[in-house]
Amino acid sequence: MNADQLAVSAPTTSPRPDAAPSLRIRALMLGDRINASGLEIGTLVSSTPAAFRVHAGLAVIFRYGVVVLIGLLPSEEKVLIDSLKSRVIGEFSPYEEEIAQAQLCKDENREAIQPGGPICLSKFSDDRLLLVADALAKSTSLARDERRVAAVFDVIEPFARELAEFGRTPRRRKGILQLIGNALLVQQRVAGRVAVAEKPDVLWEKPELDRLYARLEDEYELKERLDTLERKLTAVSETANALTDIIDTQRSLRLEIAVVVLIVIEVVIGCVQILSGTH
């Protein structure tokens, strides 16, 4: 089935007969990773990312845990998601989800994305749909990472407040190290697996679609959200490192005091023994 057939056979959301054909696009983050190696769920459309023609729609699978379902019925989506569960590493519950609508505008020069409205495409070609899937998948992944970093901030805030108000540092060094670990995990995921700043492979073969992808980036604020996330990750790492250094310094000071006390006790005992021996 070709792209034109996809546009016609995909379910439309508008009941009006004169309405432009539209496609429902649903992105689901199922877990930390999805192993798409050797997967056969339909006709292969793309290998990077793995995209398959399924029924009258597309299923695009990203290795960083997101699957984007385009033009599928809810019942078809459920069957496909169930078939992927055995390939999901670190499954989430509930899934992270974003939904968009693509609409046929029949004019390449009018391809645009209205704020809060549908994504207007000149045609429902595989290349265009892969670009939309890429942007939506990155947005879905960023949404989860943003929540994780916000949760880390919620934990750090009491530590910083205690230090500011009472001059005391938290004694839970293990908890602070866990914060640093969470920040590093998010940082590694964003920079390594998701690679939000990188353009999709389809643009290397179809540079004329660069304008469309730029509009998608603007609509989902991918660059701005990535910059904000990286700044927050830097703040988390610096704060956690500072708290850890303070705790380590205090521990070192207590250890030095204990050593000095032991030396003094030993000297006193020695002096007592010497004095007692002279009498």
DSSP string for 31-57? EEEE--TT--SSEEEETTTEEEEETTE
Length of the chain: 279
pLDDT at 234: 81
Q: Are 65 and 29 in contact (CB under 8 A)?
A: yes
| Predicted TM-score of the model (pTM) | 0.74
d(CA 244, CA 241): 5
pLDDT at 154: 77
pLDDT at 81: 95
For 30, which DSSP code? E
Domain 22-122, CATH among 3.30.310, 2.60.40, 1.10.3470, 3.40.50: 3.30.310
User: Domain locations in the chain?
Assistant: 22-122, 143-251
pLDDT at 263: 86
pLDDT-flagged residues of the chain (< 70): 1-20, 106-110, 166-173, 175-176, 179, 187-194, 247-248, 250-251, 277-279
Alpha helices for 109-125 (secondary structure H): none
